[in-house]
Structure 1
Amino acid sequence: MRVFVTGGSGFVGGRLIAALKARGDEVRALARSDKAAETVRALGAEPVRGDLDDAGALRRGMEGCDAVIHSAAHVKTWGHPEEFFRINVEGTQRVVDAARGAKVKVLVHLGSESMFVGGKPIVQADESWKRPEKPLGLYPLTKGLAEERVLAANGQDGLRTVVVRPRLIWGKGDLAVLPEIIEKVRSGQFRWIGGGHYLTSTCHVSNVVEGILLAIEKGRGGEAYFLTDGAPVEFRAFVTRMLDTAGVKAPEGSLPRGVANVLATVAETAWRVLPLGGEPPIHRSTLRLIGEEVTVNDAKARAELGYVGRMTHEAGLAEMRS
């Protein structure tokens, strides 16, 4: 196959390019900088210079491709609304439009369970769940709107669109989750919320790639699929083991959930109305995603795609230590 990838220089994108090349596919990857171009070239992909604002670059990259994998996104917890909408919503729409124009057969979009933040607790969520009317945070809001546009395009100009939603992506080379936790631990800012003794679903980056490749082949058009490593695990125990792979001892400090919610609300309000730099030290959306149980059900992916989730926690943690 010939595949076009957005976000190819990122954590998921890099693993994805490597997997595609290993099975003999020809890969092109969007690269918005010289550094990104060097990264994807080293992985074996042909860089296509441009970004999600560049409709021409997207169209050029997709010409002659069989599939498009859209993994690029503005993954932040705080910032200007215009930037979130420009990248996550309008950028995704440009990807969809370019795929339709290039007569691509299938588009797989990397979604997120975060789109449900702001509604009821995300406990054993499945694909029948509806987005809340008022998502909590710009990332959940714009990821939900992006997914809506992808699924709405299914069948247009012969394009089949599929969404995969991994929960809490982790693994060796993680550029976001573990490094941020380590930074907060070392600065003394990290606290377990309510002790951290609640369940969470997780999805190793190799399992994310497995799900994406299966979605290209078997995903039903206009459908979304959750992906996990299997049975949920205790959040505190899992994060403690990840920290251990980096030689970092997990802290003992804890913060009651009610107190954390009050602090997050006050902090977000202060950062909105006062000329404060940076971002709040705590966010309500983050509390909902890692400060309480978040579990999703991937039975649909296992039944329809043949998804297994072959990378276990033990193997993934061992890889992180290597």
Structure 2
Amino acid sequence: MHVFLTGATGWVGATVAAELLAAGHHMTGLARNTDKAQALLAAGGQVIYGTLDDRQILFDAAMHADAVIHTAFNHDFSRFADNCAQDQRAIETLGEALKGSHRPLLVTSGLARLVQGRLANETDKPASGPEYLRRSELAAQELVEKGIRAASIRLAPTVHGVGDHGFVPNLIALAKKTGVAAWPGEGSNRWAAVHRLDAAKVYRRVLETGVTQPVYHAVAEEGIPMRDIAIAIGKMLGLPAESRSPEHFGWFAAFAAADMAASSAQTRDVLGWQPQQRELLADLADSAYYANS
């Protein structure tokens, strides 16, 4: 299968690219520059240079692919609204290129604000409303309504592994800066987790099993209390671990306090997927995890 992959040099996308190539698929990745593309080329992938704003490039690449996976997203939170709009336009462009065919489009989304007080599952509707700016999954659903074979893969809020530069490293960096590994309130809010190598296998398995449902969960651990994450960080840094007010977390406060626990039972059953990599707290006990935070 020839797959076009956006975000092919990113934290998740690069692992998806490696997983596809190792399984014998052909892969063309979108990259912004030659420096970022070197690892992909070395692994045997092809590269198209461009960004999510290059709609003709996206359209043409999708037109010539057997399947499309969209993992790219600009995580600069200072211009979050613009980035969400860019993401939605890119999904619409990719879908337009696949219109009238059975070629699938896999869109990456998340678990934020799905449900409260229980594990989210694959049948839960995505968050919506004017205050919820990221519309990745809603855009995919709109494509389905137009007859396009689209599905969403919801990633756990922490896609971990050594080299991680996502939400958990934000907590590590904050602990180093403030001298305390903190959790908000009681610290009972939970984050689902998945190792990035396990997450990559979900994307591959969805393509190989035929995209049979609208939503899949790349979730290995259903929910780790934020307090446990902070304690693990504090232990490794030799810092106290304590509760702090929302102000302590700054722009990250809403994420740190969010309850994003989820099941992947349906996904495991449909795909025959079983996570095999080490869990988040085991990663956080590895000193290498703290090198770049």
Q: 153, 159, 166: which is aligned to 2:143?
A: 153
Post-superposition offset of 1:146: 2.1
Q: 1:2 is matched with which residue? A: 2
Post-superposition offset of 1:45: 1.7
Q: 2:208 is matched with which residue? A: 217
SS in 2 for 1:196: coil
| Percent identical residues | 20
Cα distance in 2 between the residues matched to 1:90 and 1:2: 23
Cα distance in 1 between the residues matched to 2:80 and 2:279: 36
Partner deviation per Cα, 1:248-298 (whole Å, 9 max, x = no partner): 335423225xxx2xx49xxxxxxxxxxxxxxxx624xx4444325321121
Post-superposition offset of 1:63: 4.1
TM-score after normalising by structure 1? 0.76
Cα distance in 1 between the residues matched to 2:118 and 2:105: 28
Count of residue pairs brought into register by the alignment = 286
C-alpha distance 208-242 of structure 1, shift in aligned 2 (>3 A):
farther
C-alpha distance 106-204 of structure 1, shift in aligned 2 (>3 A):
same
Q: 121, 125, 132: which is aligned to 1:130?
A: 125
Q: Is 1:294 matched up with 2:293? A: no
SS in 2 for 1:29: strand
Partner deviation per Cα, 1:181-213 (whole Å, 9 max, x = no partner): 222111117532124344332111112111111
Counterpart amino acid of residue 139 in structure 2: R
Cα RMSD after superposing both structures: 3.0
Post-superposition offset of 1:33: 2.3
Contact 2:7-2:72 within 8 A present in 1 as well: yes
SS in 2 for 1:172: coil
Q: Which runs of 5+ in 1 are unaligned?
A: 265-280
Q: 2:224 is matched with which residue? A: 233
Contact 1:170-1:177 within 8 A present in 2 as well: no
C-alpha distance 318-296 of structure 1, shift in aligned 2 (>3 A):
closer
Cα distance in 1 between the residues matched to 2:278 and 2:259: 21
Q: 269, 272, 275: which is aligned to 1:306?
A: 272
Q: Which runs of 5+ in 2 are unaligned?
A: 289-293
More strand by share: 2
Cα distance in 2 between the residues matched to 1:19 and 1:93: 26
C-alpha distance 321-43 of structure 1, shift in aligned 2 (>3 A):
farther
Contact 1:53-1:94 within 8 A present in 2 as well: no
TM-score after normalising by structure 2? 0.83
Q: Is 1:53 matched up with 2:48? A: no
Post-superposition offset of 1:36: 2.3
